[in-house]
Structure 1
Amino acid sequence: MKKLYMKQKVLSLNSKFTVKNEAEEDVYRVEGSFLRIPKKFSIINRQQQEVALVTKKVFSFLPRFFVEVEGQEVLTIKKEFSFFKAKYSIEGHGIEVNGNWWDMNFEVYQNRTCIGSVRQKWFSWGDSYEIEVLDEAMEIILVAIVVAIDCVKADDRAAAASTSV
């Protein structure tokens, strides 16, 4: 079992943040495109190689993200229509998510086997998440799922803030 920690900076305009291990060493760097269409997030490893790309679909009624790992599209993450609670579906790689997506407390399964879990860390500046990796072969996919869902949450907060003015 391995734990990773992702902390997104609240006041960062360029959407750059790191994913650290338990020893607080940088494992991945996430770079988001700022004011570019479509919105993309590159996940870069210690060797400065892009290992995954999360792309938000441009024209979609509800948010939809495509996840590529090593140049191959492996997942599609879609926000589903619901009145009370955020609901998402994942297509590809036999991935399912159980738990509370909106509060970022959930488990990720592949073919009914738990491969990891995500917990939002409270009382921190910015969004902070603990990612527990049970299947290290799926580590990059777990990080990509967190990046995509966090992007939807950030977009929702921005939309709510702009309508309340």
Structure 2
Amino acid sequence: MKQLFIKQKVFSIGEKFTVKDQDENDAYYVEGSFLKFPKTFSIMDTTGNEIAKITKKILSFLPKFFVEVNGQEVLTIKKEFSFFKARYSIDAAGIEVNGNWWDMNFEVVQHGEVVGSVNKEWFSWGDSYKLEIINEDMEEVMLALVVAIDCVKDDESNAAGNFTAST
């Protein structure tokens, strides 16, 4: 089993952060587009090769995010119409997310088999997540999934802030 740790820097203007392995070595780099449309996040290995990309669809009635790993679209996260609490769905061929993915405590299941889990680390400065990867073939997909969910959460909180600021 492999472990990865994501600790986002609080107040990071350029939206860059590093993913560490269990030995605290750099494993991946995540970089968000700054003031660009559509909004994207790139995940790169330590040699600088892009292994995954999260893109927010623009000109959509409800927010939608596309996740590509190694040039292949592997999943989509989309907001569903709801009057009260925000609801999102994750569409991925053969992949299920079981648990509370909004609070970052969930398992990732592929074809009925648990391939990994994600847990939010409490009592830390900023958001920190621990990824436990059972099937190491799913490492890049799991990492992209966590970054995409965090991107959706950030987008939702920004939308809520803009709504309350304008009312």
Q: Same fold (TM over 0.5)?
A: yes
Cα drift, residue 85 of structure 1: 5.8
Output one character per residue of 1:34-87: Cα deviation in whole Å (capped at 9) or x when no partner: 111111111100121111111111122332221112222222222333433643
For 1:95, the equivalent position in structure 2 comes to 95
Would the aligned equivalents of 2:77 and 2:90 in 1 still touch at CA under 8 Å? Answer: yes
Alignment of 1:142-153 (within 5 A): 142-153=142-153
Return 5+ residue gaps in structure 1 as ranges.
Answer: none
1:149 maps to a residue whose letter is: I
Cα distance in 2 between the residues matched to 1:120 and 1:48: 27
Q: Secondary structure at the match of 2:123?
A: coil
Cα drift, residue 14 of structure 1: 1.2
For 2:37, the equivalent position in structure 1 comes to 37
For 2:85, the equivalent position in structure 1 comes to 84
Q: Which runs of 4 or more aligned residues in structure 1 lie more than 4 Å from their structure 2 counterparts after TM superposition?
A: none
Give the superposed CA RMSD. 1.5
For 1:12, the equivalent position in structure 2 comes to 12
If the length of structure 1 is used for normalisation, what is the TM-score?
A: 0.92
Would the aligned equivalents of 2:80 and 2:86 in 1 still touch at CA under 8 Å? Answer: no
1:22 is the counterpart of 2:18: no
1:67 maps to a residue whose letter is: V
Would the aligned equivalents of 1:76 and 1:91 in 2 still touch at CA under 8 Å? Answer: yes
Question: How many pairs are equivalent?
Answer: 164
Cα drift, residue 89 of structure 1: 2.0
Q: Secondary structure at the match of 1:102?
A: helix
Alignment of 1:59-138 (within 5 A): 59-82=59-82, 83-84=84-85, 86-92=87-93, 94-138=94-138
Q: Secondary structure at the match of 2:102?
A: coil
Cα distance in 2 between the residues matched to 1:125 and 1:39: 25
If the length of structure 2 is used for normalisation, what is the TM-score?
A: 0.91
